[in-house]
A and B are shown apart, each in its own frame.
Chain A
Amino acid sequence: MKKISEIPGKNPFKIPVNYFEEVNRKIISATTGINGESKKISPYHRLRPYLAIAASVAVLIVAVYFAVRLLSPVKTSTSVSELLNSDYSESYFNDIDIRSLEESAASVDLYDEMPDVSNKEIIDYLLLDDIEISDIYDHL
């Protein structure tokens, strides 16, 4: 059996003169007008990181909202007494200006509103209802 190492390693193939210069020029010329394929990324894949962040923030907000709702005490009804004792009622009365009330009251002359009736007319009116005259004088 003949050993492969006994075969001389000479290249038996030939090529035309200046072949590589020619073919290199042809290849460069052929690839000049071709755009190399770039990796096309769909809009979904481009926006996916941002969508993930937005979704995480939304979930966090909803979780915090429900956590606050569950942990904080909830008033189911409010009585009138609670309302009166509440800060609102106190502040309402506290907000009344007493001085302005007194001034308003002082400006009203109650006697001007009363009809002009004498004591005798009053006594006569009361006698019609069978009231003792001594009782009337006791009250005068």
Chain B
Amino acid sequence: MVEKYSSRLYWHIRRLVILHEDADDALQNTFINAWRSIGRFRSESSLYTWLYTIATNEALALINKRKKNAAVSLDDVGDIFASSHEGSTWFDGDEAQVKLQNAILKLPEKQRIVFNLKYFDEMTYEEMSGVLKTSEGALKASYHHAVKKIEKMLGGD
């Protein structure tokens, strides 16, 4: 289970928390919590979506914790790197990539998750519905709004 899913879950978490250190912590917590609560896993949902749900919750818990303690804005990649020990060591995006990441960070939390799952992980709305416990129609609307906002932000620069 760890070897099969660790890579996909890491990248999902990393796009949400940005920093490698945070993604590393959240990934380990995801598997430890999944292992502890394996008795609550219902076979009707796939292991893949169940793990994604735990990973998303871990990432959001970490973001909220960071928001409480942060002295700087968390909707800018540069600021986030500046506030961490690792800096931008584990980031090599060009200017366009930085702009895209900044635009994504400015989205509301739910739209941000939906956008990442669809755009980067290429997850279907059906799978996403299992992860986020939201109807497919609402997810499509969220993604549509997220894309429009990002395009607007990118065009405004």
Which A residues fall within an 8 A CB radius of B? 1-4, 7-16, 19-20, 23-24, 26-28, 30-31, 34, 36-39
Contact = CB atoms under 8 A, between A and B. Distances in A.
A21 to B, nearest CB: 9
B44 interface: no
Interface in B112-157: 119-120, 147, 150-152, 154-155
B105 to A, nearest CB: 13
B79 to A, nearest CB: 16
Contacts of A19: 24
Residue in A12, A28, A30, A38 with the greatest tally of chain B CB atoms within 10 Å: A12
Given A4-B147, A13-B20, A14-B92, A24 B35 contact: no
B80 interface: no
B74 interface: no
A2 B39 contact: no
Chain B residues touching A, majority SS: helix
Interface residues of B, number: 39
Contact of A20 (B10, B89, B90, B101): B10
B11 to A, nearest CB: 7
Given A2-B154, A12-B91, A24 B11 contact: no
B39 A31 contact: no
Given A8-B97, A30-B31, 10 more contacts: A1-B151, A4-B154, A10-B93, A12-B98, A24-B2, A27-B28, A28-B2, A36-B36, A37-B40, A38-B39
